[in-house]
Amino acid sequence: MSNISPEILQALQACVGESRVLTDPDSLALYGRDWTRAHAPAPSAVVLPGSIAEVQAVVELARARQLALVPSGGRTGLSGGAMACQGEIVVALDRLNRIEDFNPVDRTVRCGAGVVTAQLQAFAEEQGLFYPVDFASSGSSQIGGNISTNAGGIKVIRHGMTRDWVAGLKLVTGSGELLDLNRGLVKNNAGYDLRQLVIGAEGTLGIVVEATMQLARPPQNLTVMVLGVPDMAAVMQVLETWQGAMDLQAFEFFSELALQKVVAHQGLQRPFETPAAFYALLEFEQHTEADLDQAMALFEHCVEQGWVVDGVVSQSVAQAQALWRLREDISETISRWTPYKNDISTTIVRVPDFLAEVEAVVARAYPDFEIVWFGHIGDGNVHLNVLKPDELPMAEFQQRCGEVSRWVFEIVQRHEGSVSAEHGVGLLKKDYLHYSRSAAEIAIMKQIKQVFDPQGIMNPGKIFDL
């Protein structure tokens, strides 16, 4: 139930219009949470501004009345960044969903923060271009959310993170100013690049209201291979073999248990019957037959070395899509076991040792739990998912996972890795931030936060406590 005072309710309604302020229990539960399930949502209201001016009006009101705001995009976040658990006001950007103008010379497009990622991808395709940031939730996530989490995904090995595609953005800061950062310029060395601070700030510096996104040439004839690999060390050998010879568009991996779950729950076909501990999914452009011959030669080499036991290659777009689903449907498939997710990374060269240590800890700590491994291994990023046994209460499960996380993060720290490779810190990882950021770094982050948001109204309690 909302406990918002009638006076603030009225003031919010004055900012965005009466019908754009929601306080019914369903809306509060819906807009108050992201994809995570560790906390209960409890916002006091949801506002849906329809213009930048309305966003500014809401921020002004929040400043005047010292109200906490939670910016909200597609709420597919996996770190609790968009959770509103303490009576905050959710500012949902859904209505800023217009693609404003397309600039074919610069290959940029200006869009509202609420444009859905897939909408931008489709728009790019209509122009004969390509927006390369992609992942399983792109049908719901928003550009503002992607920017605020610096989302990665399945094409990072070739195209980088969201950061690499933001040519400009507009931000309403916690102090109510509207900043127009970088304005689509390729070159702009006139002082600090504040845009880069906003990317990945998880809504703690202000609200992203608009972005100018860069588009790319579309890839040609994408071909997908799925290879069966006996162990993690071999996965890395396969990666190195391919990286040395071809430009990969993607290099993903998943474990046998992940495959079993996806095949059983999504009605998909196994790529081949030969059992393997892990599977690598590779994607590359096939310009000519020579590219496929090259890939075949690499495959043969890997088989001879004992790094690969079997493999398939897509013969059509439909098969490429079906093979991708083996990887892309994992998150959704396992969500029914409310998994405890770790999204960890290190440099690629350190991945084998790092993973061997993590695997040992996990095997020791969770002999009775199902563990599903998958991730963007070509970027040094693995998702370690511990599935909750149905009979175990949530609180107990969280507590056991939390303890083991510390051991895992100690390994991350020793390997100079990251406790959050691409999902952000939000609420879920803030206790562990110090495993990958020094005290001095965190102190500067807090000072930056205070400059942008002196009253602490922007997504308070996320990333760190002040």
Partner 1 sequence: MKVLVAVKRVVDYNVKVRAKGDGSDVDLNNVKMAINPFCEIAVEEAVRLKEAGVATEVIAVSVGEKPCQEQIRTALALGADRGIHVEAEGRIEPLVIAKLLKGVVEKEQPQLVILGKQSIDGDNNQTGQMLGALTNMPQGTFASEIKVEGEKLNVVREVDGGLQTISLSLPAIVTTDLRLNEPRYASLPNIMKAKKKQLDVYSPADLGVEVTSHITLVRVEPPAERQAGIKVEDVAQLVDKLKNEAKVIS
Amino acid, single-letter form, for residue 367? P
Q: By CB under 8 A, what part of segment 155-184 binds partner 1?
A: none
Residue 144 contact, options ligand FAD, partner 1, none, Cβ 5-8 Å cut-off depending on partner type: ligand FAD
User: Is there binding between residue 272 and partner 1 (CB under 8 A)?
Assistant: yes
User: Is there binding between residue 313 and partner 1 (CB under 8 A)?
Assistant: yes
User: Is there binding between residue 311 and partner 1 (CB under 8 A)?
Assistant: yes
User: Is there binding between residue 355 and partner 1 (CB under 8 A)?
Assistant: no
Q: Tell me the closest approach of the beta carbon of residue 233 to ligand FAD, in angstroms.
A: 24
Q: Is 8 or 312 the residue whose CB approaches partner 1 more closely? A: 312
Residue 112 contact, options partner 1, ligand FAD, none, Cβ 5-8 Å cut-off depending on partner type: none
Q: Tell me the closest approach of the beta carbon of residue 274 to partner 1, in angstroms.
A: 9
User: Is there binding between residue 316 and partner 1 (CB under 8 A)?
Assistant: yes
Q: Is 119 or 331 the residue whose CB approaches ligand FAD more closely? A: 331
Q: Tell me the closest approach of the beta carbon of residue 316 to partner 1, in angstroms.
A: 4
> For partner 1, which residue of 186, 290, 318, 439 counts as binding (CB under 8 A)?
318
Q: Tell me the closest approach of the beta carbon of residue 389 to ligand FAD, in angstroms.
A: 22
Please, are residues 84 and 60 in contact by the beta-carbon 8 Å criterion?
Answer: no
Return residues touching ligand FAD (CB under 6 A).
34-35, 70-78, 81-82, 93, 113, 135-137, 141-142, 144-146, 148-149, 151-153, 202-203, 207-208, 331-332, 422-423, 426, 459, 462
Q: Tell me the closest approach of the beta carbon of residue 300 to ligand FAD, in angstroms.
A: 31
User: Is there binding between residue 124 and partner 1 (CB under 8 A)?
Assistant: no
- How many of the other CB atoms lie within 10 Å of CB of 128? 10
Q: Tell me the closest approach of the beta carbon of residue 423 to ligand FAD, in angstroms.
A: 6
User: Is there binding between residue 271 and partner 1 (CB under 8 A)?
Assistant: yes
List interacting residues with partner 1 (CB under 8 A): 220-221, 225-227, 269, 271-272, 289, 296, 299-300, 303, 310-319, 321, 323
